[in-house]
Structure 1
Amino acid sequence: GDVEVDVVLEIGRPFREINRAIDEKHFDLVILGRQGKGIMMDLFIGSNSNNLARRAKTSVLLIPRADEK
């Protein structure tokens, strides 16, 4: 099929900038790498990828690091 891909590079707070781009460009899918710093870090600090997966107005695909299990 015919697929359009946009690569967007913004400077600022990642969660806020990615959400703004989603709202402005109406993306169908956002693909993000996941660093996997540990569940304890995510519980206390949160992570951009987890926040986007929960709050984005579009589908989010999280790709873990190769060594993350």
Structure 2
Amino acid sequence: MGSFSIWHWLIVLAIVILVFGTKKLGNIGKDLGSAIKGFKDGVKGEEEAPKKPDAPRVIDVSESDKK
């Protein structure tokens, strides 16, 4: 019994699907994916702070300056 063959893994997968069901396994996968994405965004946010856009400038020109 050195290593597991593909048939062993297929039987284990079938048992897991029977115990948990496909809907619950899908939700677990979706939650895990969103957690990993959130972690990556958090790590990226520490390294690079998001740049804030500059406030629009208002230039006030009086009538005497126009000439």
Per the shorter chain, which TM-score range?
A: under 0.3
Higher strand share: 1
* TM-score, length of structure 1 as denominator length: 0.22
Higher helix share: 2
Q: Which has the larger radius of gyration?
A: 2
The answer to which structure, 1 or 2, has the higher relative contact order (CA under 8 A, 6+ apart) is 1
* TM-score, length of structure 2 as denominator length: 0.22
